[in-house]
Structure 1
Amino acid sequence: MKFRKHIDELCADTLKMNALAQIANAKKGYAGILISSAKIIHTLFSYHLKFDPQNPKWVARDRFILSSYQATPLVYAMLRIINLLSKEDLESFAKPEAKTPFFCNFNTTGIEASTTLPGQGIAISVGLAIAESILSSKFPEAEHYTYVLCNDGDLQEGVAQEALSFAATNKLNKLIVLHDSNGVQADSYTKSVLQENTKAKYRAMGFNFIACSNNVKKINKAIKKAKHSKKPTIISVHTTLGEGTKKANSNLIFQGYLSADELIDFKDNIYFKKADNFSVDEDVKKFYSQKICETNAAKFAKWSPTNKLLNFLNSDLKINLNDLKFLQNQSTAQNASLVINSLAEQNLNLIVGSADSNAETLIKNEISSYAPNNREGRNILFGRRENAMAAIANGIALHSNFRPIISSSLSSFDLMKSPIKAAGMMKLKILYLFNDEINEEIKNASVFTTFDQLNNLRMTSNLQLFKPYDENELKGAFEYYFNDSSQPIAIITNVKEMPHLAETDKAKFKEGAYYILKSKSNPWTLIGSGQELHNLYNIAKKNKISLISSANIQNLEKLNYLSSKAISFESSMSIGWSKLAKFNFGIEDFDNSHSENQMSQTFELNEKTITKKIEKILKAKKS
């Protein structure tokens, strides 16, 4: 591999200046890392990344994830030079509706994942590496590497540490972490907040660890070594934040942009000399055209996918569960497990996983487990890594045509909230199965409360929530996810066995909220879902009033019931129900200092207690 120092330096400096020009134009950004990470980006794209700009969705392309979101303009600068963005796009950086938002958005061609919170990009890259290892074990022509660029702060995040531990345990050797190790953070030097021996730490974890200077030849050599490793690799590139500026190696250059005078001074120390900071030298265009565009176009032209791979990538999984027989007296959690195992056995694009919670959720995945010696396994044992599990699922969903299904207890949602928000933002087709263990938490005076979680899930953008009562509604929830959904879905299951209701309806459930019972003479309506529906059913029958299943709350307001004569009940906080029903019963507080008996009385969810509350309202309105 031939290097020419002048052209490598000029290319890296062009990336720096094009990136610095973007944030100067927008008057916001992170100047320091645009300078320190430029050679890493240049080396990766020029000498290693298998990426054909003419075929940006090529399944065998290498994946590059930007975890250090501060470096976003650098990636835009590279995409512009390889003709996926224009000069006008760079000039529109951070403007509304631009192709170049302040943080990466995966709707921009060439961007693999939208920017999320610090550290999550590392977990997403682990998910991509898992997906690659499963796919290439079946179809070798889909083989590729996954790279992720991160900074010191990313590696301090818990989600990153969970994900890296998982990657090392599972020997994801095609995962290469590029660490811009500049030693400076927003508030301090890194050594003020981190005293670890990172080399010893990551080698003990199971990583191949390489340290190198910020030099194109050294970075290239390190990546070449990483690609031959039997372990995942962290390459720690020792850089200088804002090198070449007067504020270099200090947190004064961490955030902010360079003024016009500072940009002129900075150009005195680099190869880039153009007056227009958005310009690109013809030699740079030619270099990148040869190294990236022509080289990878030739690789794509030689690539020969099998029909089996193409069929996998183009398969559109549709299901019909009419013929699936459930056992009698089974909970929704047990039935959900039956659905998953029946589907996963037949469909190679289903990947299931749990965070060491099968005993809690009753979701027992019977397909073979993913492991270093079983890359075809599609049951992923995440251990107690809920945060990483959710972010890794995002990476799996982003890869190609995989559909991740992950399960956990509902109380764990808080640990998974940020990655689930990211999945909603990207509209990834992920299925979350949460077991609502509310009865057990009351019984055991547990701190693992779930009273507020349904509201938290409903408030998550682009996430659809289902809380099915029985097998009919559960089948509807699964069919909706596979056949109709264009976004992530959360299904709330329960371990309690509930009596079957003849009036529940799979087809109606998929359309939204629907009437279980419809009174022609009484204007009152009860609204509920999940395990509460059984008690409300008996009350509605007794009082000859209507009953609506809100297991799929969509279109509830279109049922034309009188909200002034509607009563909702949910074993959760009643926040948000007031616009749908005048009278709302929920659980507004939880104090685990109560004795078991006190809590049982406070949160008694039986038919007798609910009946008293509802009949009191009905009686008062008649008098």
Structure 2
Amino acid sequence: RFVLSAGHASALLYSLLFLNGYDISIEELKRFRQLDSITPGHPENILTPGVEVTSGPLGQGFGNGVGMAIAERYLSSYFNRDGFSVVDHYTYVLASDGDLMEGISSEAAALAGHFKLNKLIVIWDNNKVTIDGPTSLAWSENVLERFHALGWYVQDIEDGYNLAKIEEAVRNAKEQKDKPSFISVRTHIGYGSRLQDDCRAHGAPLGKEAVEEMKKRFNWPLEEFYIPEEAWRYREEKIKNGVKMEEEWRRIFERYRENYPDLADLLLRCFNRDWGKEYKKYLPVFTEGMATRAASGKVLNAIAKHIPTMLVGSADLFESTNTYLHGLGDFQADNPLGRNIHYGVREHAMGAIMNGMAYHGGILPCGGTFLVFSDYMRPTIRLAAMAGLQVIYVFSHDSVWIGEDGPTHQPVEQLSSLRLIPNLWVIRPCDPNEVSVAWEIAIERKDGPTAIILTRQKVPVLDRNIYPTADNIKKGAYVLADTDSSPDIVILASGSEVHLALQAKRMLEDRGIKTRIVNMASFEIFEQQEEKYKLEVIPRNVRKVAIEAGRGLCWYKYVGENGLVISIERFGKSAPYQDLIKDFGFEGEKILYEILGHFKIS
């Protein structure tokens, strides 16, 4: 598998994919960076045949490569049998100076060294130039010593144009049994052009005259997009060899299927992201109240053994996020079948590594941290959504109600911020049984990531003999409690604030005000419903209120400019959460009077 972490070199990747027989035409190479071409400015996995990952934001591809290597280690250990190496490959990463400047590369490299991922090979395009100028402007560390200290096998090639030396270094790397490999290759940006070693060569076109000058220097025909017959023959040979290699693998797999039919079936299902239906039989039904993070932990431990390639990790918060899979072991160098990945305090690397596992295929990656620390991994969440990756995030401690840790750890803007990311589903269940359904939604969704937002504090279990079933959150939002006729007020809420909305309903109806409660568990899923259903749940021309313990701007789409949003528009405080509830006015009676005052109801 190959990751171009230096995504700005996408033209090189597209050219090589063309030469190696992928479905990229000369016409598409000519349409580089043009509207609706399959050769965009940075690689996109869902757009271009042969592109493994969506890269460009520097450092991301490095982390993806580590994730791919972890996936290969786990899957090969799980599925391979004597004589049948059905999962067996190296992961190669081409990284730039900028990739290695980004902190995420150090985070991910530290984990790769710790896990001794010997089938990971990173090649550093060491050209000593970034966009602003020479790397010496801001970079003077000994990169080779850094990787040596992180437990990598390090090689240094002074002449990056000596192909024999590079091949020798790769062969050396493949002989390593307990270390990932880092190969520094000294190159020159704009090699052979008048802009060699000049930062302007990074993004600016050389111009026709400079290109012709360079072609003459290399004795290359001046014709634009010239491809010699030798290259065409090479491409045809690669296509033939590729067909032969695939046929050979399929023959091996058929013999594997004959000997291990259950494993073969599972392998195919996992790479098709078909996680089976067996786990659904074990989704818990809850009868007692608890924090939704605790309910999530019970759900995970009930279903994980029925999804054997689900790998769950945490950024040093397994206990707090309740994401640890008990009895299923820790993934380590000496235990490649462990199902729990300890990422350490490295949220950003965790996100990129989970993306890498999803890009690889066969793995259902899940990871947990506090909601406030989703900010540390936001670039990876955005890329997961852009690339359509099935990744599941468990974000606990979802509001200022986490209490004593104070405003640094109390999320206020994060929930709204996550809802702004296209193709990310955000689900905030209101009780333990909705947590079970949220996990089912996330597992069944194949075309993008899902964030499950969970409380630290205990919440009640709704009596589903009185209220509609928890399955209704599969529509994103639903009428939880209604009136006998058209409502005077509709209150929308999510998560723990749903219970506060129910209190407000009782108080309003004591005053003769007919009130509907809408449980708004997921904006994104609700928006996918038919317009008729959406209007049935949230009708026009009725007074509307939204209640949520976070920034409220997103709610105005539903309540309208004349509606009332009861939210938190400032940072929190350090105090027991019961005191914070009073301080922020999230109590039934205060909510009642705020509603009455806003709509001038006497």
Partner residue of 2:293 out of 310, 333, 354: 333
1:245 aligned to 2:205?
no
Matches within 5 A, 1:427-576: 427-439=388-400, 441-502=402-463, 503-519=467-483, 520-544=485-509, 545-553=515-523, 554-555=525-526, 557-558=534-535, 559-562=537-540, 564-576=542-554
Partner residue of 2:317 out of 342, 350, 357: 357
- Residue 426 of structure 1 deviates from its aligned partner by 0.9
8 Å CA contact 2:398–2:453 kept in 1: the answer is: no
Change (3 A) 1:424 1:549: same
- Residue 508 of structure 1 deviates from its aligned partner by 1.4
1:132 aligned to 2:52?
no
8 Å CA contact 1:159–1:388 kept in 2: the answer is: yes
Q: 2:570: which partner in 1?
A: 589
SS at match of 1:246: coil
Deviations 1:68-127 (Å, cap 9, x if unpaired)? Answer: 112100111112223321111111111111111111111211000112411100001111
Q: Is 292-301 or 402-411 further displaced after alignment?
A: 292-301
Q: 1:22: which partner in 2?
A: none
- Using structure 2 for the length normalisation, give the TM-score: 0.88
Report the AA paired with residue 345 of structure 1: K
In 2: Cα distance, 1:288 partner to 1:241 partner: 27
In 2: Cα distance, 1:78 partner to 1:229 partner: 27
1:228 aligned to 2:175?
yes
Report the AA paired with residue 101 of structure 1: P
SS at match of 1:284: helix
Instruction: State the identity %.
Output: 29
Q: 2:531: which partner in 1?
A: none
Change (3 A) 1:485 1:71: closer
8 Å CA contact 1:473–1:504 kept in 2: the answer is: no
In 1: Cα distance, 2:86 partner to 2:505 partner: 60
- Residue 340 of structure 1 deviates from its aligned partner by 1.1
In 2: Cα distance, 1:166 partner to 1:350 partner: 19
Deviations 1:256-310 (Å, cap 9, x if unpaired)? Answer: 1111110111012214x223231211122324544x4444443333221222234
- Residue 608 of structure 1 deviates from its aligned partner by 3.3
SS at match of 1:406: strand
Q: 1:10: which partner in 2?
A: none
In 2: Cα distance, 1:323 partner to 1:433 partner: 17
Deviations 1:536-562 (Å, cap 9, x if unpaired)? Answer: 112212323111100123437432424
- Residue 443 of structure 1 deviates from its aligned partner by 3.2
1:114 aligned to 2:54?
yes
Report the AA paired with residue 301 of structure 1: E
Q: 2:227: which partner in 1?
A: 280
Matches within 5 A, 1:69-84: 69-84=7-22
In 2: Cα distance, 1:597 partner to 1:336 partner: 23
Q: 2:303: which partner in 1?
A: 343
Q: 2:361: which partner in 1?
A: 400
- Residue 568 of structure 1 deviates from its aligned partner by 0.5
Partner residue of 1:607 out of 577, 582, 588: 588
- Residue 521 of structure 1 deviates from its aligned partner by 4.7
8 Å CA contact 1:413–1:453 kept in 2: the answer is: yes
In 1: Cα distance, 2:431 partner to 2:49 partner: 43
8 Å CA contact 2:488–2:542 kept in 1: the answer is: no
Q: Is 324-333 or 388-397 further displaced after alignment?
A: 324-333
Q: 1:312: which partner in 2?
A: 267
8 Å CA contact 1:441–1:447 kept in 2: the answer is: no
In 2: Cα distance, 1:94 partner to 1:256 partner: 13
SS at match of 2:166: helix
In 2: Cα distance, 1:365 partner to 1:595 partner: 30
8 Å CA contact 1:444–1:596 kept in 2: the answer is: no
SS at match of 1:576: helix
Matches within 5 A, 1:162-241: 162-212=107-157, 213-214=159-160, 215-230=162-177, 231-241=179-189
Report the AA paired with residue 33 of structure 2: A
SS at match of 2:296: helix
8 Å CA contact 1:334–1:363 kept in 2: the answer is: no
Deviations 1:234-263 (Å, cap 9, x if unpaired)? Answer: 111011111211221121322211111101
Number of positions where the alignment pairs a residue of Structure 1 with one of Structure 2:
557
Report the AA paired with residue 265 of structure 1: E
- Residue 325 of structure 1 deviates from its aligned partner by 4.1
In 1: Cα distance, 2:72 partner to 2:414 partner: 33
In 2: Cα distance, 1:517 partner to 1:329 partner: 19
In 1: Cα distance, 2:340 partner to 2:517 partner: 39
Unaligned segments of structure 2, at least 5 residues: 258-262, 510-514, 528-533
8 Å CA contact 2:64–2:354 kept in 1: the answer is: yes
- Residue 605 of structure 1 deviates from its aligned partner by 2.4
Change (3 A) 1:322 1:207: closer
8 Å CA contact 1:451–1:571 kept in 2: the answer is: yes
Report the AA paired with residue 79 of structure 1: L
SS at match of 1:384: coil
- Residue 563 of structure 1 deviates from its aligned partner by 5.9
Q: 1:29: which partner in 2?
A: none
Partner residue of 2:33 out of 94, 108, 113: 94
- Residue 439 of structure 1 deviates from its aligned partner by 4.3
SS at match of 1:516: strand
Deviations 1:360-386 (Å, cap 9, x if unpaired)? Answer: 323332121100011111211100010
SS at match of 2:89: coil
In 1: Cα distance, 2:425 partner to 2:323 partner: 20
8 Å CA contact 2:410–2:572 kept in 1: the answer is: no
- Residue 473 of structure 1 deviates from its aligned partner by 1.4
In 2: Cα distance, 1:428 partner to 1:419 partner: 11
1:302 aligned to 2:248?
yes
- Residue 492 of structure 1 deviates from its aligned partner by 0.5
Q: Is 318-327 or 496-505 further displaced after alignment?
A: 318-327
Question: How large is the RMSD of aligned CA atoms in angstroms?
Answer: 2.2
Change (3 A) 1:244 1:264: same
Matches within 5 A, 1:23-38: none
In 1: Cα distance, 2:471 partner to 2:361 partner: 30
In 2: Cα distance, 1:321 partner to 1:548 partner: 28
Matches within 5 A, 1:369-408: 369-408=330-369
In 1: Cα distance, 2:97 partner to 2:360 partner: 26
Partner residue of 2:555 out of 577, 585, 607: 577
Deviations 1:449-488 (Å, cap 9, x if unpaired)? Answer: 3100111110011001110011221122112122245321
- Using structure 1 for the length normalisation, give the TM-score: 0.85
SS at match of 1:578: helix
8 Å CA contact 2:63–2:108 kept in 1: the answer is: yes
8 Å CA contact 1:77–1:90 kept in 2: the answer is: yes
Deviations 1:135-176 (Å, cap 9, x if unpaired)? Answer: 111223211000011110110101111111111111111110
